Amino acid sequence: MTIPAQFDAKTIEDKWYDYWMKNNYFHSEPDHRTPYTIVIPPPNVTGVLHMGHMLNNTIQDVLIRRARLKGFNACWVPGTDHASIATEAKVVAKLKAEGINKNDLTREEFLAHAWDWTEKYGGVILEQLKKLGASCDWERTKFTMDPDMSASVIHSFVDLYNKGLIYRGYRMVNWDPEAKTTLSDEEVIYEEQQGKLYFLKYKIEGSEDFLTIATTRPETIFGDSAICINPNDERFAHLKGKSAIVPINGRVIPIIEDEYVDIEFGTGCLKVTPAHDMNDKALGEKHNLEIIDIFNEDATMNSFGLHYQGKDRFVVREEIAKELETTGALAKTEAYLNKVGTSERTKAVIEPRLSDQWFLKMEDLVKPAIKAVLEDGEVKLHPKRFENTYAHWLNNIRDWNISRQLWWGQQIPAYFYGEGKEDFVVAENIEDALALAKDKTGNFSLLTSDLRQDVDALDTWFSSWLWPMSVFGGITDPENEDFKYYYPTNDLVTGPDILFFWVARMIIAGYEYTGKKPFTNVYLTGLVRDKQRRKMSKSLGNSPDPLDLIEKFGADGVRVGLLLSASAGNDIMFDEELCNQGKGFTNKIWNAFKLIKGWEVSETIPQPESSKVAIEWYEAKLQQTLLEIEDNFEKYRISEALMGTYKLVWDDFCSWFLEMIKPAYQQPIDSKTFAKAIEMLENNLKVLHPFMPFLTEEIWQILAERTPEEALIVSAWPELKPFNATLISDFENAAEVISGIRTIRKDKNIPFKDTIELKAINNDSASTYFDSVVTKLGNITALEYVSEKVDGALSFRVKSNEYFIPITGNINVEEEIAKLTTELAYTKGFLKSVESKLANEKFVAGAPEKVLANEKQKQADALAKITTIEQSLAGLK
């Protein structure tokens, strides 16, 4: 067949992905082989591909394709996450745009809209991953709201409740007023924000005295239940047992005493607002204070806010400050840098709020997960430094608030049969709940219609923490064949930003439900940033569309470009030029393939010695690289593994090996060498395939007619064999000799077609094994070893060996002497200026170490150059 001049990435990518899918290469079923399993970090169901996904899934595909080649039963399970907060927010916004208020809908009506949204926009990202070449087992695709997946979540909740690990409590929680739901502590991001400290004057009841209190939130005075002073603070001893009057609303509140108050902070006394501050709530419980909730669920003021009712908290803050100033109740304001909790998802400022919520006790659950990572090393984090982050989170863990005031998600399986806070049962379905309710109440006339299911949904992470087990049905049916075969999985590739949210919780769940780790290795990628080290975002306009990159550079080019810069855990400074470099590598391989296929092959001519030697060297070099690649993969240095492969193919194969075996112009190549060249190319394709699947499959299929069973994707990784390391080091010496010859040819304008002689003094007793290669690549008529310097010759050195190229008619000796004399004079002058600088004590004492080292290197280089020029001159005279 005619091989196209250019590699047409788009046509080839579609062709081979369709071929792989048609032949079901990605699908896995349990069999006699050792399994290798990866579960995808499920992206948001309505999300689209971004650069972080590209990096993460390229790494996973490299690992899974390599495992397939190494004979493992490779299974990569894809799927998506229902992302309750994000998806519900999008559906609410869509309904709002259509003039529909969520609160006017029943739960069932709203969920119908949510499912419509999911079916319309869901799964796009998985289709986009196919463009990247992701070889997932698409038949196993899971969605966290699939019936079987939801059943696993509900089963887990009931199980943990029955074990006494889930409880319902009235607690101060993190409230997101934009999403209108609670958040776990880990979903709150604390940011420093410039605010104000307001000094408010509270009048002492029955006197004209005032007490000044500093607060960052003057709008919360409507929820004040007391003023607290430290009993040891003599400044306020006269106020003990008295009351104060809250500005604006005029409510009388007690002045209480507690050593909790820091005498040194602010004015030394504080206002207590139990409904809106964690510490104030503790004080309120201790002193039996009234709890006054002043906010609606969207953080607007309720009726306790008087004339501010219905206004947003931040609007009220500005307006109330003016009113307090007008009434003389604002003593002063000061600028104040404050740490403010914000929602990881919506970025809204979190409001502490008292609410009935469901919690999971973590103190005992977390212990096996701490042991597995930090003590036994059963689960390994790559890079290891993330163990410190992991330890910090797990050693300071608090009970997990698992309920969310949302409808999109798994509905909490708690059923209320009365008005009391304890009047509920927990069951997997309403029929089981009814039976439990009858037993608990003794009322056997209860009907399912008498039961009300908790309206809240479970935290999305409460479904995804089961992911490695639930995708194989391991929660509801732990004895099934798939689960017993594929679990524990092998590797997890994800970002360090969800090390606690997801990774740690999966480890916790794995040990709780199976007594086993969910995976052995966690590869933590860095963040993809732009050249200016900025995080990629739509608002900055610095995040390229991954599909546009694939269109421009080809999927293989983009994969290589991303991985060349992606060492584990380190942020990636992404530059499109890296993808261009990947595309250049694609073209290099394609052109090498075309070169080989373009040779005429002869069955009769003998194999040249240079080709025999070249093959022995490249086989050794391949084996050496295979060992290095193996080591890098074991250490999860994927970028280094690619770089080793890149150098093997670009430098050793294309730049050296092909040159060493290439037949003379319009001459055939011997069949023995050609067969070996094809074999070496095929080995290269196997090593390259995990990184560049499309290009390699295309070349593989053109090289020979293959059956589906012989496709590259399911071929075998090159076998590791013993190799001769001396051959490799000997060639490095020969390569320097060839480079020396080429430099002289270039400097003296000696065309390569013109043959030359080479004489050498072998002071190092260097190997002569590669002399046939030196002779070929240097176009040398005679290579002779001598014991004395050769007069009338150009010379160069490799280590202690000296090499001489006798002058022929191509070189004008007089002109060469004049040229070298001028160059010698210039170099000596340059050396003098450098040595003058180094002789200057003031310069040496004050110069940075790097500058000094640079000057010394200049001195050494100049001395070496002078020696070489003088030797060349001596040979010419």
Q: What is the pLDDT of residue 573?
A: 83
The secondary structure of the chain in percent helix, strand, coil, rounded to multiples of 5, reads 50, 20, 35
3-state SS, residue 188: strand
Q: What are the CA-CA distances from residue 741 to residues 662, 744, 875 (Å)?
A: 19, 5, 16
Q: What are the CA-CA distances from residue 21 to residues 130, 142, 284 (Å)?
A: 10, 18, 64
Would you say 372 and 378 are in contact if contact means Cβ atoms under 8 Å apart?
yes
Q: What are the CA-CA distances from residue 462 to residues 400, 402, 668 (Å)?
A: 10, 7, 67
User: Of 323, 325, 324, 316, which is closest to residue 351 (Cα–Cα)?
Assistant: 316
H helices of 254-304, where? Answer: 278-286
Q: What is the pLDDT of residue 49?
A: 86
Q: What is the pLDDT of residue 492?
A: 97
Q: What is the pLDDT of residue 555?
A: 96
Q: What is the pLDDT of residue 808?
A: 67
Q: What is the pLDDT of residue 99?
A: 93
User: Of 7, 141, 19, which is closest to residue 75 (Cα–Cα)?
Assistant: 141
How is 608-662 classified by DSSP, letter by letter? Answer: PHHHHHHHHHHHHHHHHHHHHHHHHHHTT-HHHHHHHHHHIIIIIIIIIIHHHHP
Phi-psi region of 560 (alpha: psi -120 to 50; beta: other; left: phi over 0): alpha
Quote the DSSP letter at residue 349: B
Distance CA 835, CA 857 (A): 11
Distance CA 410, CA 456 (A): 9
How is 196-210 classified by DSSP, letter by letter? Answer: EEEEEEEEETTSS-E
Q: What is the pLDDT of residue 57?
A: 96
In the chain, which residues have pLDDT < 70? Answer: 1, 537-539, 567-569, 808-811, 875-877
Would you say 350 and 191 are in contact if contact means Cβ atoms under 8 Å apart?
no
Which distant-in-sequence residues (6+ apart) come within 8 Å of 340 by Cβ? Answer: 190, 191, 192, 193, 195, 349, 350
Would you say 73 and 137 are in contact if contact means Cβ atoms under 8 Å apart?
no
Quote the DSSP letter at residue 410: P
Which distant-in-sequence residues (6+ apart) come within 8 Å of 617 by Cβ? Answer: 657, 660, 727, 728, 731, 770
Distance CA 308, CA 632 (A): 64
Would you say 875 and 791 are in contact if contact means Cβ atoms under 8 Å apart?
yes
Cα 46–chain centre separation = 20
Q: What is the pLDDT of residue 873?
A: 80
Would you say 296 and 302 are in contact if contact means Cβ atoms under 8 Å apart?
yes
CB neighbours of residue 328 within 10 Å: 10
User: Of 661, 685, 657, which is closest to residue 601 (Cα–Cα)?
Assistant: 661
Exposed, middle or buried by CB within 10 Å (0-12, 13-18, 19+), for 413? buried
3-state SS, residue 777: helix
Q: What is the largest CA-CA distance in the chain?
A: 121
CB neighbours of residue 701 within 10 Å: 17
Which distant-in-sequence residues (6+ apart) come within 8 Å of 68 by Cβ? Answer: 25, 74, 135, 713, 714
Tokens of 625: 């690289």
∠ CA 515-517-519, nearest 5°, is: 155
